[in-house]
Amino acid sequence: MNNPFENAMLQLDKVLNVKKFNEDLILRLRQPDRDIRISIPVKMNDQTTKIFDGYRVEYNNILGPYKGGIRYHHDTEINEVKALAFWMSIKCAVVGIPMGGGKGGISVNPKELSKSELENLSRGWVKKLSYVLGPYKDVPAPDVNTTPEIMDWMTDEYTKLTGDTTKATFTGKSLDKGGSEGRGPATGLGGFYVFDSLREQLKLPEVCTVAIQGFGNVGLNASQIFTKHGHKVIAISDSKGGVYNQDGLDIDELVNYKKVNGNLSNFPNSKSISNEELLEIDCDVLVPAAFENQITKENVNNIKAKVILELANGPTTPDADEVLFSKGVEVIPDVLANSGGVTVSYFEWDQNLKGEYWSEKEVFDKLLHIMNTSTQKVYENAKSNNTDLRRGAFITALEKIQSQM
Ligand code: NAD
């Protein structure tokens, strides 16, 4: 079993083989500033009380307040949250925003809860953790299975408990509750900007074939954005499996189909495939947009994509990474590729604190500028150190954090 935190630390070690950094900094980056484990009692609809395990990891705040999403998943545990918090520290530094790294979660399958139970659980997480949160201390956001509505409940609970009315303690809120234009598609769009900035350097064709694992916030938005820009999404999957059509899938039709049928299988004019098959499809760009540890030493030799755009966090294990690097498959790493989400979260925080409203165009223009400049910096750092883009991204981040110590 791959431990995501051990994998994250291996990634750090691999960077240090290429370039040396301040030893105090590296020591600090080997563990979080604070990892908090809580139990959350929730009164269920049948009047019994159930206890859920919750987490908040504050990795480091050298660049600014701890920042990172909250994940609701039955497999969520402390090593996963620690890894995600570490990657957030690196990610914020890659894009140069004044935020540190954090992450939170609850071990729960949210599909098994009623709406009121989910609301009580979300408010319960805030009740236990409000003492560490705050606009200048620790600013959570959505991640897997957490939505703008959940962020609204959490913001409301935090306001009730503390009297803070800035709304800047949580990002990813609904638009009418202090959210930012463009936060919904930000991760998928940012990922597309990164890909587009590198497309020619990576010698990809003008029209690429794309396979996407995951059909949630990130995967769905990415599929729509790639299609809108003339690329062909030939395969996509969710937790129940996927569909494939070499001529390209009609994504709008697929969204409607899933709404009606609850899954993707038997979508007209497509072949149903498993998640394993999706990863091994012959395509220009493979986009993992679901979970960690999807491309491993077990399946890496079957991967046929030319480029992997990591929109999920931690989808490629370090041993698989080495194989891909030696075979010349470029991996655009998560800490760059999915940083559009936290960048627009930072915009939301900034707007809340200044009492401003930015139009969608303003948000997307600012996002494009940050994605382009960060991507080219990462590319230059990879080339000048004769290494891959992941190490290029880590070098960009470590230089930034080191300069602020
Ligand atoms: P989500 O809950 O909206 O969607 C997750 C999707 O993955 C769902 O479609 C689910 O069916 C699918 N899935 C689950 N198991 C799968 C499997 N084994 N194979 C294929 N698909 C599977 O979550 P999201 O917000 O889209 O997050 C996806 C990934 O992107 C996560 O790794 C998350 O950490 C990362 N990420 C999200 C954001 C954001 O802004 N939401 C930002 C940065 C990174």
Q: Whose CA is nearest to atom 19 of ligand 1?
A: 239
Q: Is the CB of 142 under 6 A from ligand 1?
A: yes
Cα(291) to centroid(ligand 1), Å: 6
H or E, element range at 38:
strand 34-43
Q: Which atom of ligand 1 is nearest to the CA of 314?
A: 32
CA distance 232 to 274: 20
Q: Per the structure block, which two tokens stand in for 194?
A: 């990164």
Q: Is the CB of 341 under 6 A from ligand 1?
A: yes
Distance (angstroms) between ligand 1 centre and the Cα of 288 equals: 9
Nearest-CA residue for atom 14 of ligand 1: 239
Given the DSSP bridges, would you call strands 232-238 and 241-244 parallel, antiparallel or unpaired?
antiparallel
For residues 285 and 281, give the distance between their C-alpha atoms in angstroms, rounded to a whole number: 10
First to last CA, the chain: 35
Helix/strand/coil for 136: coil
Please enumerate in sequence order all residues whose Cβ is within 8 A of that of 163, keeping only pairs 6 or more positions apart, or say none.
none
pLDDT tens, N- to C-terminus, the chain (405 residues): 689 999 999 999 999 999 999 999 999 999 999 999 999 999 999 999 999 999 999 999 999 999 999 999 999 999 999 999 999 999 999 999 999 999 999 999 999 999 999 999 999 999 999 999 999 999 999 999 999 999 999 999 999 999 999 999 999 999 999 999 999 999 999 999 999 999 999 999 999 999 999 999 999 999 999 999 999 999 999 999 999 999 999 999 999 999 999 999 999 999 999 999 999 999 999 999 999 999 999 999 999 999 999 999 999 999 999 999 999 999 999 999 999 999 999 999 999 999 999 999 999 999 999 999 999 999 999 999 999 999 999 999 999 999 998
C-alpha dihedral sign at 186, 188, 193, 198: positive
Whether residue 150 has its Cβ less than 6 Å from ligand 1: no
Six token digits for residue 63: 């660049």
Q: Which residues of 107-135 are buried (b: 16+ CB within 10 A; e: fewer)?
A: bbebeebeeebbbbbbbbbbbbbbeebbb
What does pTM read for this prediction?
0.97
Instruction: Report the catalytic residues.
Output: 103
